[in-house]
Chains A and B, each alone.
Chain A
Amino acid sequence: MVIVPVMVVMSGALAFSAFTGTITTNVNADAGYLLWEQSVTSTYTYEHNTMVQNSSTSMGATNQTMASTVTLSVSNLAPGNWVVFNITVTNNGSVGFILGVGTITTTETAGLTNNSTSSSTFVFGSALGGYGYYYAVNEISGFGTSIDVGSTATYQVFVGLGALSGNAYEESSFTVSIPITVTSDP
């Protein structure tokens, strides 16, 4: 019987081989997105025997991003009439956001003596007094605070024509533009 010793020699002179492997860590960073929808949930009109028309029934809830404009209209006001729109903004995106109200601007038919006035919501009780158009924006909930996905914020917009407005206001028109800022929550 011959025993042949098997020797394993690892010599420094030999090229050193090692098992090698690589862990590759892929870090994918996807950004979320802003997406919201705005809808008119209810309206109320103060009028008597006047067919005040408003467009809220045709305003469906559609998703919007970045800059978007929504237009509501109410027509055929008589002096003293007013309308309130109750509006809801829903976060349909993937990141939280914060809502704020920017600088409100107005335009009116040229030549009216009293144009339009920003007022508190208290003036919109029974018949709206005063001269000219009046408006108010009332934040109900969810403004200035983080809104997470699926949550909502609500606000109201009042517009009306003062009861003392004279015949010069017949068939006049007025627009209030309300920018609602949407900012992702860091």
Chain B
Amino acid sequence: MNKKAFALIVVPLMMVMSGALAFSAFNGTITTNVSASAGDMTFSMGSEIHGSYFHNTFLTVTGGNGENTVILTGSNVVTGSSLATVPVSGGAKTIVYWLNISNLAPGNWVGFTFTLVNTGSVGLIFNTPTIGTVVFDPATSPPDLNLTNATLARDSQGPSTSLFQLGQPLSDSSLGVLFANNYQATNGGQGQSGYVFAFGNGGPTFSNFQKSRDLDNSADFNFYVGLSSGAGNGYEESSISIPIIITVVSDP
């Protein structure tokens, strides 16, 4: 019996990965887009009469700005009557509200409540109201027409009480500080008989000013204008226009 040897041939199989091959990576990109936009800031201003003192006198009260002005006369000068809201719709960044009273007799006065409303989309702060350059009529004829700021005035009884009291004429005792006159606009000095204005009644009330107000929220203040009981004949047929200025700033 012959045996033949098996011959096994083993062929090693090698796999070679060459470093010369280029290495690629899976890759992707997330792009995150962040968009930001700004809101807008506007407000409106309106007023209504909340008190007055006159008897058998045909007063004319005008309030607003330009074409957006309401004129109240005679029997319409009553508590609750509204003057113009500026602007008519939407809002504005700055508002100048003109208030004109004419045909006052010495001692007559009218009081107003002004309401400011945030009509924009961002919170805002109402700055304390100020008075701009008043307009006297007549502008230059003598005698001198005076306007006194009685906001912090004391009456004859001493500590400040209401100078504009319902049922009482506007007296000229211990009035406030001269604000302007039609010969030369000056501030300071002792108040004199003539036109008088005051913020608040017995002191300014700006409780919602200088603080953040959100959309549709409001701030209000009272304002009085009158002719003191000591005003002489030189004030006959005169009138005065007072611009009330409100500025606002967005609340960061």
Residue ranges of A at the interface with B (Cβ–Cβ < 8 Å): 7-12, 16, 18, 31-34, 36, 38, 47-51, 64-81, 83, 85, 87, 89, 95, 97, 102, 127-128, 133, 135, 157, 159-161, 163, 165, 167, 169-184, 186
Rounded to whole angstroms, the CA-CA distance of A33 and B27 in the bound complex is 10
User: Chain B nearest CB: distance from A6 CB in Å?
Assistant: 11
Q: Are B33 and A177 in contact (CB under 8 A)?
A: yes
Pairs A–B under 8 Å by Cβ, sample size 8: A10-B1, A12-B4, A38-B30, A72-B34, A75-B35, A176-B34, A177-B32, A182-B28
User: Given A48-B251, A49-B214, A161 and B38 touching (CB < 8 A)?
Assistant: yes
Q: Are A182 and B29 in contact (CB under 8 A)?
A: yes
Rounded to whole angstroms, the CA-CA distance of A36 and B38 in the bound complex is 33
Q: Per DSSP, are chain B's interface residues mostly helix, strand or loop, or mixed?
A: loop
Q: In the assembled complex, which residues on chain B have CB atoms less than 8 Å from the CB atom of A18? A: 6
User: Given A47-B123, A48-B251, A79-B252, A175 and B34 touching (CB < 8 A)?
Assistant: yes
Rounded to whole angstroms, the CA-CA distance of A172 and B38 in the bound complex is 5
Q: Are A175 and B122 in contact (CB under 8 A)?
A: no
Partner of A177, one of B31, B212, B250: B31
Q: Is B21 an interface residue (CB 8 A)?
A: no
Q: Are A78 and B251 in contact (CB under 8 A)?
A: yes
Q: Is B9 an interface residue (CB 8 A)?
A: no
Q: In the assembled complex, which residues on chain B have CB atoms less than 8 Å from the CB atom of A79? A: 38, 250, 252
Rounded to whole angstroms, the CA-CA distance of A133 and B38 in the bound complex is 10
Partner of A157, one of B28, B31, B32, B213: B32
Q: In the assembled complex, which residues on chain B have CB atoms less than 8 Å from the CB atom of A31? A: 26
Q: Can you name the residue of chain A whose Cβ is closest to the Cβ of B4?
A: A12
Q: Is B36 an interface residue (CB 8 A)?
A: yes
Q: Which of A18, A49, A157, A183 has the most chain B CB atoms closer than 10 A to its own CB?
A: A49
Rounded to whole angstroms, the CA-CA distance of A43 and B244 in the bound complex is 42
Interface range on chain B (Cβ under 8 Å from partner): 35 or more
User: Chain B nearest CB: distance from A113 CB in Å?
Assistant: 14
Q: Are A70 and B32 in contact (CB under 8 A)?
A: yes
Q: Are B34 and A85 in contact (CB under 8 A)?
A: yes
User: Chain A nearest CB: distance from B75 CB in Å?
Assistant: 41
Q: Are A175 and B33 in contact (CB under 8 A)?
A: yes
User: Chain B nearest CB: distance from A25 CB in Å?
Assistant: 10
Q: Are B38 and A74 in contact (CB under 8 A)?
A: no
Q: Are B34 and A127 in contact (CB under 8 A)?
A: no
Rounded to whole angstroms, the CA-CA distance of A18 and B32 in the bound complex is 68
User: Chain A nearest CB: distance from B195 CB in Å?
Assistant: 35
Q: Are B36 and A160 in contact (CB under 8 A)?
A: yes
Rounded to whole angstroms, the CA-CA distance of A75 and B250 in the bound complex is 15
Partner of A50, one of B23, B28, B30, B39: B39
